[in-house]
Structure 1
């Protein structure tokens, strides 16, 4: 018998993803076979799955917390924003279309079928499915055709726990107000509530819990205190990208408008000897940085134009004159070359734009996307690297003769003659302890951290945190058979 429970938020960024990851680990440690599920996600921080598709990074972390491999059925609809009004739509791991918001609404009935198909398939593999909603069910203007919150809960027959974020203030209104605006049939799907991100003594909110319970009729599953080590877990939301101050080695990361697959930053942020500084638009790249890391981008050409508009190209040239290092990953790699050609207009009008000219390579955009889990070798140190590729475009040129990675026997990446400018398509390479240690050694920094151990220990600590402060027994009792 498979049971399911859904975690929805009274607003965006209330901590749903982290709660699901912690509950997945807690229930797995109890001996249950657990699978995470998110019907619809919006993120440019994707993970590549073993079945050859892509899902939201949060679901990959939740799968890890559950002790299972990430699968496309865990996040059947992924929206990857490409502009202010349009997004690439990934269905069951593969590109479906690029749609504007209005057109996406028309496609939702078709997408709900795919969502339910994935959910039913996943339900045959686990004792418990923990479902994560998106945004808030209180956005009743989006209820018609909804596949992310109550529309899914109703169609799949899954009960809901509503979570409020007390750190923002007004949490009583968040919970009570959600019930007030929901249609009666949707409100009836909510069986309990919980409060997240409390700072201080949780007992101080006892009167608040009673007030919410009296007004809604829903029982409380508890008040979850702020989890201080949350930053140690890979983040999915671009809102969660933050500077991390550690040691003397400074890595500067320009915050691109369509930054993608920024999990490359997580192992560096966790290093005691490294400070990762996220540079907001309008701010200069710091003059004392050891490394400027240009991350991936969902819209490379547009982000390159913004890079120049911010004056970062001038800052980058000065950084190199001072003897600094530059690393571009995926879209950042493409920007470092002499030219980006887009003959088919994949990212806008057909044509070509000059790159930053720091690597003697040229990129040609192609409609075929490369999605692959990849094993590689760092040529200089011999360190094994496990990563992934997720990109459009092919990059070639003289500097590729100085490839510094080897993937399945083929060279990967490019380097300048002095080795201080490098680029590659491989994401996740800094998660390799041996590679990270070798790379940081070139910057004069010693690394002794074991990143995977840090993530696993943090997931265990998060599970213990939720077992202490949340009524997990009651949550499991509320889960219904599907």
Structure 2
């Protein structure tokens, strides 16, 4: 591919091996060296998304990586985004815009058609950059999906980008996962991988010297280093809902917040700033467990499939728990899909998120929602009506919500007017805006309403954590060698 930008691709032996963090840390490390760096992920699957300035959407991991690189977001940083709506189907976003929905088998048959869009976006991202850091998806060892692959080796060969394979030693079997990947790849794919990284190592790294030698002997790939387990990474927004399996009970301090883990929970990084607050305990409540009796605040999160998740909510008995919580004087907040659920009705006449129809909502806010075909994607700013400070955030939803409850708004948006709804007694509220708690001024005012002080400067903490992770990979990896490999 003539004239391609200097680029390096980080693939992994599986999901959740730390690819996203490695790319973010390397992006910050190279940016700190004065290079113009851009992140890129050909195909992503996540219900955590970010809105770009031009009204498109990309995966949250690429938004964090762009922040690490100190560059504005672009829809071309993640040209194909899949947002699961069921166990077998997903919404397909191409270059920031919703293309439609597809079942898994249908998408596998069609995704080869998207390679041209992926390569177009890669060229756009690389224009004027010193380096593009590319993140793979899942594992290249899924050879059953290789024929139409655009996420891993299919992209790497088409774009002529060298690959470094990351393995997670913390989960065990890292030698087998790297050597096994080498064994199942065909010759062309195997040759495109130039080296490997061991990630998440705990203990004395020297004890793995023989392991490195064995991997190099069996694969012929060069080891670029061993990255220690970086505890600071837990302070960064997570993209994959798999992390929620390890994020359950808070320590019971201060304000006690409970968030039900909906089956299609979306943009759950909304709660990261609350989780990091010294005066707040956040509990993610998994299916099969009741909403805790001692919660001060229950937050209904966003959902990729609101009506289906409302049914799921009721199946868990959480509607009964919520009623008891409100009767005890507890507070409730709904964000996006959670806001829609708190209303009187939700209608989906066009079958946007599932079978066409209408259902009763939970009935705690005097509003009604109709899901529509047009998707709202826009950055916003404003202030809380109840004295909370300023915020910047974003809207990302289908649906129009109306009703008398909106005469008591939760927020005031700059240049747009009132947003959301609040119950007559002020204890139940909802809005469409994501990212509220990431704004320090808003969060300070929000916590003050519960008699709690904020002890966190969130935006500063994210940047400090990125610098800490960058320093960690600089010390652990042959970063100069990786840059040379990029060409």
Assess same fold via TM > 0.5. yes
Of 375-384 and 391-400, the range deviating more from structure 2: 375-384
Q: What is aligned with 1:191?
A: 194
Structure 1 residue 244 displacement after superposition:
6.3
Structure 1 residues 115 and 409, CA gap change in structure 2 (3 angstroms)? closer
2:283 maps to 1:277: yes
Q: What is aligned with 2:292?
A: 286
Q: What is aligned with 1:448?
A: 455
2:133 maps to 1:130: yes
Structure 1 residue 347 displacement after superposition:
2.2
CA distance in 2, matches of 1:237, 1:26: 23
2:10 maps to 1:4: no
Q: Report if the CA contact (8 A) 1:304-1:335 is conserved.
A: yes
Structure 1 residue 436 displacement after superposition:
0.6
CA distance in 2, matches of 1:244, 1:74: 34
2:467 maps to 1:464: no
Q: Report if the CA contact (8 A) 1:35-1:128 is conserved.
A: yes
**What is the number of residues matched between the two proteins?**
480
Q: Report if the CA contact (8 A) 1:10-1:138 is conserved.
A: yes
2:230 maps to 1:223: no
Structure 1 residues 382 and 278, CA gap change in structure 2 (3 angstroms)? closer
Q: What is aligned with 1:410?
A: 417
Given candidates 37, 40, 53, the residue that maps to 2:40 is: 37
2:211 maps to 1:205: no
CA distance in 1, matches of 2:97, 2:237: 23
- Superposition map of 1:255-274 within 5 A: 255-274=261-280
SS in 2 for 1:143: helix
Given candidates 301, 310, 327, the residue that maps to 1:321 is: 327
- Superposition map of 1:399-438 within 5 A: 399-407=405-413, 408-438=415-445
Q: What is aligned with 1:161?
A: 164
Calculate the TM-score normalised by the size of structure 2. 0.97
Q: What is aligned with 2:250?
A: 245
CA distance in 2, matches of 1:383, 1:251: 20
Q: Report if the CA contact (8 A) 1:87-1:99 is conserved.
A: yes
Given candidates 25, 30, 33, the residue that maps to 2:28 is: 25
CA distance in 1, matches of 2:33, 2:212: 28
CA distance in 1, matches of 2:380, 2:437: 13
Q: Per-residue CA shift, 1:178-228, capped at 9, x if unaligned?
A: 001100110000111010011111111111001101111111111111110
Q: What is aligned with 2:87?
A: 84
CA distance in 1, matches of 2:449, 2:322: 19
2:178 maps to 1:175: yes
Q: What is aligned with 1:378?
A: 384
- Superposition map of 1:114-153 within 5 A: 114-153=117-156
Q: Per-residue CA shift, 1:249-295, capped at 9, x if unaligned?
A: 11100000000111211110110111110000010000001110110
Q: Report if the CA contact (8 A) 2:301-2:338 is conserved.
A: yes
CA distance in 2, matches of 1:185, 1:61: 32
CA distance in 1, matches of 2:40, 2:34: 19
Structure 1 residues 186 and 76, CA gap change in structure 2 (3 angstroms)? same
Structure 1 residue 243 displacement after superposition:
3.1
CA distance in 2, matches of 1:434, 1:162: 41
- Superposition map of 1:58-73 within 5 A: 58-73=61-76
2:101 maps to 1:98: yes
Q: What is aligned with 2:400?
A: 394
Structure 1 residue 325 displacement after superposition:
0.6
Structure 1 residue 302 displacement after superposition:
0.4
CA distance in 2, matches of 1:52, 1:362: 25
Which ranges of structure 1 fall in alignment gaps of 5 or more residues?
A: none
Which ranges of structure 2 fall in alignment gaps of 5 or more residues?
A: none
SS in 2 for 1:188: helix
Structure 1 residue 321 displacement after superposition:
1.4
CA distance in 2, matches of 1:264, 1:212: 40
CA distance in 2, matches of 1:243, 1:26: 32
Q: Report if the CA contact (8 A) 1:5-1:160 is conserved.
A: yes
CA distance in 1, matches of 2:17, 2:268: 21
